[in-house]
Amino acid sequence: MSVVSAAVCPHPPLLVPEVASGAAGELDDLRAACLTAIEQLAAADRLLVLGSAPAGTTSVGPVSYDGSAGGSFGAYGAPGVRVGAGDAVLPLSLAMGAWLVEQTKAAGLPRSYLAVSSATSPAQCVQLGREIAAGNDRIGLLVMGDGSARRSEHSPVHLHPRAEIFDTTVATALGAADSVVLAALDPDLAAELQAAGRAPWQVLAGVLESGLTGNLAYHAAPYGVGYFVATFT
């Protein structure tokens, strides 16, 4: 098995205290759960951070970045917060993943990044996960993905009646490491619910076929967006 451990985390920029400013404490529990989940990846030989490509990306092929790729939180009001040494090319999901990693002992691992477009079909995502799991390196996989952004009347987009059911299905599947349920998520429904994690979770589904077991550490929607933290070993 090449993926020796995995973690799922969300990517709201508000996890960065400089972005959240006076509201930073509101996500203390989520931030702590993410950092704890990522710590267990440090036993791997290298780290792969997997996330969603920017909205509107139509390419179905994954985009890879090496460990020197940079990211910036300037668009979120914190221009002084950066990750990586190179140009700020990482999409939010991967920049947020890098920021979280750099708060943990997993920061010392060699690292690479992979962005998957929402245009990628479930079958293509699962196949990509199988290919990741078939390698020879001992990989720690960090999967970045948000649930539905339509969980409440205060969500970024107005409440959708199927949002909570969708997120509960994802949460249960993550806790059970249920690759079949994750692989069966409907991309059209995920798009309607603005669930940015669909494609990365379906890549994870292909990885989970190798036999990892799961544990759900966090599931809530503090700002009307579903957030999950889970670990797999």
99: Cα separation from own chain's centroid: 12
What is the CATH number for 100?
3.40.830.10
Q: Provide the residue range defining the domain that includes 57.
A: 3-232
What is the mean predicted confidence (pLDDT) over 183-208?
98
How many structural domains is the chain composed of? 1
pLDDT tens for 80-113 read 999 999 999 999 999 999 999 999 999 999 999 9
52 by DSSP, 3-state: which?
A: strand
Contacts of residue 95, Cβ cutoff 8 Å, sequence gap at least 6: 71, 72, 73, 83, 88
Query: Helices in 102-197 by DSSP H: which ranges?
Result: 122-133, 163-176, 179-183, 187-192
Total residues found in the chain within this entry: 233
Element (H, E) at 73: strand 71-73
Whether the CB-CB separation of 209 and 179 falls below 8 Å is answered with: yes
pTM comes to: 0.96
Kindly state the average pLDDT of the residues 204-221. 97
* pLDDT at residue 1 tops 60: no
